[in-house]
Amino acid sequence: MNANIKKLAMEFTKDMIGWRRHIHAHPELSGKEKDTQKLIINVLRTLGIEYKENVYGYAVIGTIYGGHDGPNIALRADMDALPIVETTGLPFASEQTGVMHACGHDSHIAILLGVASILQSVRDELYGTVTLVFQPAEEEALVAGAKGIMESGVLDTVDEIFGLHVWPQIPVGKIGLKTGHFMAASDRFNVDIVGKATHGAEPHNGIDAIVAAANWITSVESIIVRETNPMDQVVCTIGIFQAGERYNVGAGLAHLEGTCRTYDPNKRDYMEARLTESLKALDTMFGTNSTIEYKRGHGATINTPSSVEYAASVVADYLGEDAVQMMEYPSMAAEDFSAYLQHIPGTFIWLGTGFEGNPPLHNSGFTIDESILTSGATMMAAIVWERLSSVTTKK
Protein backbone atom coordinates (compact mmCIF):
# COMPACT_ATOMS: atom_id res chain seq x y z
CA MET A 1 0.00 0.00 0.00
CA ASN A 2 1.20 3.49 -0.87
CA ALA A 3 0.35 5.75 2.07
CA ASN A 4 0.97 8.79 -0.12
CA ILE A 5 -2.15 8.00 -2.20
CA LYS A 6 -4.28 8.10 0.96
CA LYS A 7 -2.61 11.29 2.11
CA LEU A 8 -3.15 12.99 -1.24
CA ALA A 9 -6.82 11.92 -1.25
CA MET A 10 -7.21 13.66 2.13
CA GLU A 11 -5.47 16.76 0.82
CA PHE A 12 -7.74 17.01 -2.23
CA THR A 13 -10.95 16.34 -0.26
CA LYS A 14 -11.68 20.05 0.17
CA ASP A 15 -11.44 20.54 -3.61
CA MET A 16 -13.67 17.52 -4.26
CA ILE A 17 -16.35 18.83 -1.89
CA GLY A 18 -16.19 22.20 -3.62
CA TRP A 19 -16.53 20.68 -7.11
CA ARG A 20 -19.30 18.34 -6.02
CA ARG A 21 -21.34 21.15 -4.46
CA HIS A 22 -20.85 23.46 -7.43
CA ILE A 23 -21.88 20.75 -9.90
CA HIS A 24 -24.80 19.78 -7.66
CA ALA A 25 -26.08 23.36 -7.67
CA HIS A 26 -25.72 23.57 -11.48
CA PRO A 27 -27.08 20.29 -12.87
CA GLU A 28 -27.53 19.72 -16.61
CA LEU A 29 -29.64 17.11 -18.39
CA SER A 30 -28.32 14.36 -20.70
CA GLY A 31 -26.67 15.80 -23.79
CA LYS A 32 -26.69 19.35 -22.38
CA GLU A 33 -23.66 19.16 -20.05
CA LYS A 34 -22.00 22.29 -21.44
CA ASP A 35 -21.13 24.11 -18.19
CA THR A 36 -20.21 20.85 -16.47
CA GLN A 37 -17.77 20.25 -19.32
CA LYS A 38 -16.36 23.75 -18.81
CA LEU A 39 -15.70 23.07 -15.11
CA ILE A 40 -13.97 19.75 -15.89
CA ILE A 41 -11.79 21.38 -18.56
CA ASN A 42 -10.82 24.21 -16.20
CA VAL A 43 -9.69 21.77 -13.52
CA LEU A 44 -7.74 19.60 -15.99
CA ARG A 45 -6.08 22.70 -17.46
CA THR A 46 -5.10 23.95 -13.98
CA LEU A 47 -3.62 20.53 -13.21
CA GLY A 48 -1.70 20.57 -16.50
CA ILE A 49 -3.47 17.46 -17.82
CA GLU A 50 -3.84 17.09 -21.58
CA TYR A 51 -7.42 16.65 -22.76
CA LYS A 52 -9.68 16.27 -25.78
CA GLU A 53 -13.10 17.90 -25.65
CA ASN A 54 -16.35 17.25 -27.55
CA VAL A 55 -15.19 13.72 -28.32
CA TYR A 56 -18.83 12.71 -28.36
CA GLY A 57 -21.32 15.31 -27.23
CA TYR A 58 -19.79 17.09 -24.24
CA ALA A 59 -17.39 14.26 -23.38
CA VAL A 60 -13.92 15.15 -22.13
CA ILE A 61 -11.05 12.65 -22.31
CA GLY A 62 -8.03 13.53 -20.16
CA THR A 63 -4.69 11.74 -20.41
CA ILE A 64 -2.03 11.46 -17.71
CA TYR A 65 1.25 10.21 -19.19
CA GLY A 66 3.35 8.28 -16.70
CA GLY A 67 7.11 8.70 -16.57
CA HIS A 68 7.54 5.18 -18.00
CA ASP A 69 5.86 2.96 -20.58
CA GLY A 70 3.17 0.51 -19.56
CA PRO A 71 -0.53 -0.30 -19.84
CA ASN A 72 -3.33 2.19 -20.33
CA ILE A 73 -5.94 2.21 -17.54
CA ALA A 74 -9.18 4.16 -18.00
CA LEU A 75 -11.46 5.53 -15.29
CA ARG A 76 -14.92 6.83 -16.11
CA ALA A 77 -17.32 9.34 -14.52
CA ASP A 78 -20.75 10.19 -15.92
CA MET A 79 -21.83 13.84 -16.04
CA ASP A 80 -25.60 14.21 -16.46
CA ALA A 81 -28.50 15.00 -14.12
CA LEU A 82 -32.20 14.06 -14.10
CA PRO A 83 -35.48 15.94 -14.72
CA ILE A 84 -36.47 15.95 -11.02
CA VAL A 85 -37.45 18.81 -8.68
CA GLU A 86 -34.97 18.62 -5.78
CA THR A 87 -36.34 18.50 -2.23
CA THR A 88 -33.15 17.97 -0.18
CA GLY A 89 -33.18 21.54 1.21
CA LEU A 90 -29.35 21.51 1.05
CA PRO A 91 -27.65 24.93 0.96
CA PHE A 92 -26.13 23.91 -2.40
CA ALA A 93 -29.36 22.44 -3.80
CA SER A 94 -30.09 22.71 -7.53
CA GLU A 95 -30.46 26.27 -8.81
CA GLN A 96 -32.10 24.88 -11.92
CA THR A 97 -35.70 24.06 -10.98
CA GLY A 98 -36.72 20.67 -12.32
CA VAL A 99 -33.17 19.42 -12.88
CA MET A 100 -31.30 17.52 -10.18
CA HIS A 101 -28.22 15.39 -9.63
CA ALA A 102 -30.40 12.70 -8.06
CA CYS A 103 -28.15 9.87 -9.28
CA GLY A 104 -24.93 11.12 -7.70
CA HIS A 105 -23.11 11.86 -10.96
CA ASP A 106 -21.98 15.14 -9.31
CA SER A 107 -19.98 12.97 -6.87
CA HIS A 108 -18.62 10.78 -9.68
CA ILE A 109 -17.18 13.85 -11.45
CA ALA A 110 -15.73 15.27 -8.22
CA ILE A 111 -14.10 11.93 -7.38
CA LEU A 112 -12.56 11.55 -10.85
CA LEU A 113 -11.22 15.12 -10.68
CA GLY A 114 -9.78 14.23 -7.26
CA VAL A 115 -8.18 11.08 -8.73
CA ALA A 116 -6.78 13.19 -11.59
CA SER A 117 -5.22 15.55 -9.01
CA ILE A 118 -3.69 12.65 -7.07
CA LEU A 119 -2.30 10.77 -10.07
CA GLN A 120 -0.98 13.91 -11.77
CA SER A 121 1.10 14.51 -8.59
CA VAL A 122 2.71 11.06 -8.87
CA ARG A 123 2.77 10.75 -12.67
CA ASP A 124 6.58 10.51 -12.93
CA GLU A 125 6.45 7.26 -10.96
CA LEU A 126 3.78 5.65 -13.16
CA TYR A 127 4.57 2.89 -15.67
CA GLY A 128 1.79 3.53 -18.13
CA THR A 129 -1.01 5.90 -19.04
CA VAL A 130 -4.20 6.96 -17.28
CA THR A 131 -7.23 7.82 -19.42
CA LEU A 132 -9.85 9.95 -17.66
CA VAL A 133 -13.27 9.52 -19.24
CA PHE A 134 -15.83 12.21 -18.41
CA GLN A 135 -18.94 10.90 -20.14
CA PRO A 136 -22.18 12.74 -20.92
CA ALA A 137 -25.66 11.25 -21.40
CA GLU A 138 -25.70 8.19 -19.15
CA GLU A 139 -29.28 8.66 -17.95
CA GLU A 140 -30.98 8.97 -21.29
CA ALA A 141 -30.69 5.39 -22.45
CA LEU A 142 -31.65 6.29 -26.00
CA VAL A 143 -28.84 8.84 -26.47
CA ALA A 144 -25.48 7.15 -26.91
CA GLY A 145 -23.20 8.23 -24.02
CA ALA A 146 -20.71 5.42 -23.47
CA LYS A 147 -21.48 3.94 -26.89
CA GLY A 148 -20.67 7.25 -28.59
CA ILE A 149 -17.29 7.41 -26.84
CA MET A 150 -16.49 3.79 -27.73
CA GLU A 151 -17.36 4.40 -31.38
CA SER A 152 -15.17 7.53 -31.51
CA GLY A 153 -12.12 5.26 -31.08
CA VAL A 154 -10.50 7.33 -28.27
CA LEU A 155 -10.40 4.28 -26.00
CA ASP A 156 -8.91 1.90 -28.60
CA THR A 157 -5.58 1.70 -26.73
CA VAL A 158 -7.13 1.19 -23.26
CA ASP A 159 -6.22 -2.12 -21.57
CA GLU A 160 -8.61 -2.06 -18.60
CA ILE A 161 -11.43 0.22 -17.43
CA PHE A 162 -12.97 0.95 -14.03
CA GLY A 163 -15.99 3.01 -13.05
CA LEU A 164 -18.01 3.55 -9.89
CA HIS A 165 -21.51 4.49 -8.85
CA VAL A 166 -22.64 5.81 -5.48
CA TRP A 167 -24.99 3.18 -4.03
CA PRO A 168 -27.39 3.91 -1.16
CA GLN A 169 -28.45 0.26 -0.77
CA ILE A 170 -25.10 -0.47 0.88
CA PRO A 171 -23.76 1.49 3.85
CA VAL A 172 -21.18 4.28 3.87
CA GLY A 173 -17.73 2.71 4.17
CA LYS A 174 -18.58 -0.38 2.09
CA ILE A 175 -17.60 -1.06 -1.51
CA GLY A 176 -19.91 -3.37 -3.48
CA LEU A 177 -18.25 -5.76 -5.92
CA LYS A 178 -19.42 -8.72 -7.95
CA THR A 179 -18.03 -10.93 -10.68
CA GLY A 180 -20.07 -11.35 -13.87
CA HIS A 181 -23.69 -10.15 -13.89
CA PHE A 182 -23.79 -6.77 -12.14
CA MET A 183 -26.37 -4.55 -13.83
CA ALA A 184 -29.09 -5.47 -16.33
CA ALA A 185 -29.88 -4.60 -19.92
CA SER A 186 -32.65 -2.02 -20.12
CA ASP A 187 -35.22 -1.61 -22.91
CA ARG A 188 -38.24 0.64 -23.24
CA PHE A 189 -41.56 0.15 -24.98
CA ASN A 190 -44.51 2.33 -25.98
CA VAL A 191 -47.82 0.67 -26.79
CA ASP A 192 -51.03 2.07 -28.27
CA ILE A 193 -54.15 -0.06 -28.16
CA VAL A 194 -56.81 1.44 -30.40
CA GLY A 195 -60.43 0.42 -29.86
CA LYS A 196 -63.61 2.31 -30.65
CA ALA A 197 -65.15 4.79 -28.24
CA THR A 198 -68.79 4.25 -27.41
CA HIS A 199 -71.49 5.31 -24.98
CA GLY A 200 -70.92 3.66 -21.61
CA ALA A 201 -74.45 2.30 -21.77
CA GLU A 202 -73.85 0.65 -25.18
CA PRO A 203 -70.61 -1.37 -24.93
CA HIS A 204 -71.66 -3.60 -27.86
CA ASN A 205 -71.37 -0.61 -30.21
CA GLY A 206 -67.68 -0.03 -29.51
CA ILE A 207 -64.39 -1.69 -28.57
CA ASP A 208 -63.31 -0.86 -25.03
CA ALA A 209 -59.56 -0.10 -25.09
CA ILE A 210 -59.35 -0.10 -21.26
CA VAL A 211 -60.65 -3.67 -20.95
CA ALA A 212 -58.34 -4.80 -23.76
CA ALA A 213 -55.32 -3.06 -22.18
CA ALA A 214 -56.13 -4.53 -18.76
CA ASN A 215 -56.06 -7.99 -20.35
CA TRP A 216 -52.75 -7.27 -22.05
CA ILE A 217 -51.16 -6.15 -18.77
CA THR A 218 -52.17 -9.48 -17.22
CA SER A 219 -50.70 -11.29 -20.26
CA VAL A 220 -47.38 -9.51 -19.84
CA GLU A 221 -47.28 -10.50 -16.18
CA SER A 222 -48.05 -14.11 -17.15
CA ILE A 223 -45.32 -14.18 -19.81
CA ILE A 224 -42.75 -13.13 -17.22
CA VAL A 225 -43.96 -15.36 -14.42
CA ARG A 226 -45.06 -18.46 -16.40
CA GLU A 227 -42.77 -18.51 -19.44
CA THR A 228 -39.38 -17.55 -18.05
CA ASN A 229 -37.23 -19.49 -15.60
CA PRO A 230 -37.37 -17.78 -12.18
CA MET A 231 -33.54 -17.88 -12.20
CA ASP A 232 -33.34 -16.02 -15.51
CA GLN A 233 -33.41 -12.48 -14.12
CA VAL A 234 -36.22 -10.97 -16.21
CA VAL A 235 -38.45 -8.13 -15.12
CA CYS A 236 -40.92 -5.88 -16.99
CA THR A 237 -42.75 -2.95 -15.48
CA ILE A 238 -45.53 -0.96 -17.11
CA GLY A 239 -45.14 2.48 -15.58
CA ILE A 240 -47.67 4.43 -17.67
CA PHE A 241 -51.27 3.48 -18.47
CA GLN A 242 -53.36 6.31 -19.88
CA ALA A 243 -56.88 5.87 -21.22
CA GLY A 244 -60.35 7.32 -21.20
CA GLU A 245 -61.95 10.73 -21.46
CA ARG A 246 -65.12 10.51 -19.44
CA TYR A 247 -66.73 8.27 -16.82
CA ASN A 248 -69.58 7.16 -19.05
CA VAL A 249 -67.72 6.67 -22.32
CA GLY A 250 -66.01 3.42 -23.30
CA ALA A 251 -62.41 4.41 -24.07
CA GLY A 252 -61.26 4.36 -27.69
CA LEU A 253 -57.51 4.44 -26.95
CA ALA A 254 -55.14 3.15 -24.29
CA HIS A 255 -51.51 4.21 -24.16
CA LEU A 256 -48.95 2.26 -22.13
CA GLU A 257 -45.22 2.64 -21.54
CA GLY A 258 -42.88 0.30 -19.77
CA THR A 259 -39.43 -1.21 -19.42
CA CYS A 260 -37.95 -4.72 -19.68
CA ARG A 261 -34.76 -5.65 -17.82
CA THR A 262 -32.78 -8.77 -18.71
CA TYR A 263 -29.26 -10.26 -18.65
CA ASP A 264 -29.37 -13.00 -21.28
CA PRO A 265 -29.51 -11.55 -24.85
CA ASN A 266 -31.81 -14.45 -25.85
CA LYS A 267 -34.26 -13.49 -23.10
CA ARG A 268 -34.07 -9.90 -24.30
CA ASP A 269 -35.08 -11.01 -27.82
CA TYR A 270 -37.71 -13.30 -26.34
CA MET A 271 -39.41 -10.53 -24.35
CA GLU A 272 -39.51 -8.22 -27.35
CA ALA A 273 -40.99 -10.98 -29.52
CA ARG A 274 -43.56 -12.05 -26.91
CA LEU A 275 -44.78 -8.52 -26.18
CA THR A 276 -45.33 -8.05 -29.90
CA GLU A 277 -47.04 -11.44 -30.37
CA SER A 278 -49.31 -10.98 -27.37
CA LEU A 279 -50.57 -7.69 -28.79
CA LYS A 280 -51.42 -9.42 -32.08
CA ALA A 281 -53.34 -12.05 -30.12
CA LEU A 282 -55.08 -9.29 -28.17
CA ASP A 283 -56.20 -7.67 -31.42
CA THR A 284 -57.66 -10.98 -32.59
CA MET A 285 -59.51 -11.43 -29.34
CA PHE A 286 -60.83 -7.89 -28.86
CA GLY A 287 -60.86 -6.46 -32.38
CA THR A 288 -58.45 -3.72 -31.32
CA ASN A 289 -55.64 -2.36 -33.43
CA SER A 290 -52.39 -2.32 -31.43
CA THR A 291 -48.90 -1.03 -32.12
CA ILE A 292 -45.69 -1.41 -30.15
CA GLU A 293 -42.47 0.56 -30.39
CA TYR A 294 -39.72 -1.42 -28.62
CA LYS A 295 -36.44 0.44 -28.13
CA ARG A 296 -33.21 -1.19 -26.99
CA GLY A 297 -31.37 0.76 -24.29
CA HIS A 298 -28.19 -0.12 -22.35
CA GLY A 299 -26.79 -3.65 -22.58
CA ALA A 300 -26.03 -5.70 -19.47
CA THR A 301 -23.00 -4.75 -17.35
CA ILE A 302 -20.85 -7.88 -16.96
CA ASN A 303 -17.74 -7.48 -14.79
CA THR A 304 -14.46 -9.18 -15.71
CA PRO A 305 -13.56 -11.66 -12.91
CA SER A 306 -9.82 -10.79 -12.81
CA SER A 307 -10.59 -7.05 -12.56
CA VAL A 308 -13.11 -7.66 -9.74
CA GLU A 309 -10.60 -9.77 -7.79
CA TYR A 310 -7.94 -7.13 -8.29
CA ALA A 311 -10.24 -4.26 -7.21
CA ALA A 312 -11.29 -6.24 -4.12
CA SER A 313 -7.64 -6.69 -3.09
CA VAL A 314 -6.94 -2.97 -3.56
CA VAL A 315 -10.02 -2.01 -1.52
CA ALA A 316 -8.96 -4.41 1.27
CA ASP A 317 -5.45 -2.89 1.31
CA TYR A 318 -6.43 0.76 1.22
CA LEU A 319 -9.85 0.89 2.89
CA GLY A 320 -9.70 -2.23 5.05
CA GLU A 321 -10.93 -5.84 4.73
CA ASP A 322 -14.30 -4.79 6.18
CA ALA A 323 -14.90 -2.38 3.31
CA VAL A 324 -15.16 -5.19 0.75
CA GLN A 325 -18.76 -6.30 0.26
CA MET A 326 -19.07 -9.08 -2.28
CA MET A 327 -22.66 -8.78 -3.54
CA GLU A 328 -24.82 -11.88 -3.55
CA TYR A 329 -27.20 -10.60 -6.23
CA PRO A 330 -26.84 -8.38 -9.28
CA SER A 331 -29.13 -5.37 -9.75
CA MET A 332 -31.89 -5.10 -12.36
CA ALA A 333 -31.05 -1.39 -12.74
CA ALA A 334 -28.99 -0.50 -15.82
CA GLU A 335 -25.78 1.33 -16.64
CA ASP A 336 -24.24 2.27 -19.95
CA PHE A 337 -20.83 1.33 -18.52
CA SER A 338 -21.84 -1.96 -20.16
CA ALA A 339 -20.79 -0.50 -23.53
CA TYR A 340 -17.15 -0.25 -22.35
CA LEU A 341 -17.13 -3.74 -20.83
CA GLN A 342 -18.32 -5.27 -24.09
CA HIS A 343 -14.89 -4.42 -25.55
CA ILE A 344 -12.51 -3.71 -22.65
CA PRO A 345 -11.90 -5.83 -19.53
CA GLY A 346 -12.71 -4.10 -16.27
CA THR A 347 -15.28 -3.68 -13.57
CA PHE A 348 -17.99 -1.40 -12.35
CA ILE A 349 -17.99 -0.75 -8.59
CA TRP A 350 -20.64 0.39 -6.11
CA LEU A 351 -19.54 3.00 -3.57
CA GLY A 352 -21.79 2.67 -0.51
CA THR A 353 -23.60 5.83 0.56
CA GLY A 354 -26.36 4.26 2.62
CA PHE A 355 -27.21 6.01 5.86
CA GLU A 356 -30.41 6.26 7.85
CA GLY A 357 -32.98 8.32 5.99
CA ASN A 358 -31.07 8.45 2.69
CA PRO A 359 -33.64 7.73 -0.02
CA PRO A 360 -32.86 5.69 -3.15
CA LEU A 361 -31.20 6.95 -6.33
CA HIS A 362 -33.47 9.03 -8.60
CA ASN A 363 -35.38 10.27 -5.52
CA SER A 364 -35.81 14.04 -5.07
CA GLY A 365 -34.29 13.77 -1.57
CA PHE A 366 -31.22 11.71 -2.50
CA THR A 367 -27.82 12.93 -1.31
CA ILE A 368 -24.45 11.47 -0.31
CA ASP A 369 -22.29 11.35 2.79
CA GLU A 370 -19.38 13.50 1.57
CA SER A 371 -16.82 11.26 3.34
CA ILE A 372 -17.23 8.89 0.40
CA LEU A 373 -15.52 11.40 -1.88
CA THR A 374 -12.27 10.69 -0.03
CA SER A 375 -12.70 6.91 0.05
CA GLY A 376 -13.89 6.84 -3.58
CA ALA A 377 -10.87 8.84 -4.76
CA THR A 378 -8.48 6.76 -2.63
CA MET A 379 -9.87 3.56 -4.14
CA MET A 380 -9.81 4.69 -7.78
CA ALA A 381 -6.35 6.28 -7.51
CA ALA A 382 -5.05 3.14 -5.75
CA ILE A 383 -6.55 0.90 -8.45
CA VAL A 384 -4.46 2.77 -11.02
CA TRP A 385 -1.39 3.11 -8.78
CA GLU A 386 -1.17 -0.59 -7.95
CA ARG A 387 -1.48 -1.50 -11.66
CA LEU A 388 1.07 1.08 -12.85
CA SER A 389 3.60 1.47 -10.03
CA SER A 390 5.98 -1.13 -11.42
CA VAL A 391 6.83 -2.64 -14.78
CA THR A 392 4.08 -4.98 -15.90
CA THR A 393 3.51 -6.54 -19.24
CA LYS A 394 0.67 -5.13 -21.26
CA LYS A 395 -2.47 -7.16 -20.81
Question: Which is closer to Ni ion, CB of 58 or CB of 310?
Answer: 58
- Region near Ni ion per CB under 5 A, out of 96-104, 123-131, 142-150, 223-231: 96-104
Q: In angstroms, rounded to a whole number, what is the distance separating the alpha carbons of residues 381 and 5? A: 7
Contact status, residue 179 vs residue 308, Cβ threshold 8 Å: yes
Judged by CB under 5 A, does residue 110 bind Ni ion?
Answer: no
Q: Which is nearer to Ni ion, 188 or 255 (CB)?
A: 188
CB of 258 to Ni ion, least distance (A): 20
Stretch that binds Ni ion, among 1-9, 100-108, 264-272, 280-288 (CB under 5 A): 100-108
User: Which is closer to Ni ion, CB of 102 or CB of 126?
Assistant: 102
Length of the chain: 395
Are 268 and 338 spatial neighbours (Cβ–Cβ below 8 Å)?
no
Size of the site for Ni ion (CB under 5 A): 1
- Please list the helix, strand and coil fractions of the chain in percent, rounded to the nearest 5, in that order: 40, 30, 35
Binding mask 24-63 for Ni ion (x = CB under 5 A): ----------------------------------------
Q: Count Cα neighbours of 176 within 13 Å in the Cβ-side half-sphere.
A: 23
Q: How far apart are CA 103 and CA 139, in angstroms?
A: 9
**In whole angstroms, how close is the CB of 351 to Ni ion at the nearest point?**
12
Residue 84 contacts Ni ion per CB under 5 A: no
When the beta carbons of 140 and 317 are compared against Ni ion, the nearer one is 140
Cβ atoms of 40 and 60 within 8 Å: the answer is: yes
Q: What sign results for the dihedral spanned by CA atoms 23, 27, 30, 34?
A: negative
Residue 160: name the closest of 390, 391, 380 by CA.
380
- State the nearest-atom distance from the C-beta of 218 to Ni ion, in Å: 32
| Rounded CA separation 21/318 (Å) | 26
Minimum CB distance to Ni ion smaller for 103 or for 191: 103
Residue nearest to Ni ion (CB): 103
Q: Which is nearer to Ni ion, 138 or 187 (CB)?
A: 138
Asked whether position 103 contacts Ni ion by CB under 5 A, the answer is: yes
Interface region with Ni ion, contact rule CB under 5 A, candidates 103-111, 279-287, 350-358, 382-390 = 103-111
Containing 25, the helix (H) or strand (E) segment is helix 13-25
Q: Closer CB to Ni ion, residue 118 or residue 372?
A: 372
| CA angle 76–52–29, rounded 5-degree value | 55
CB of 65 to Ni ion, least distance (A): 30
Pairing of strands 127-135, 68-78: parallel
CB of 85 to Ni ion, least distance (A): 18
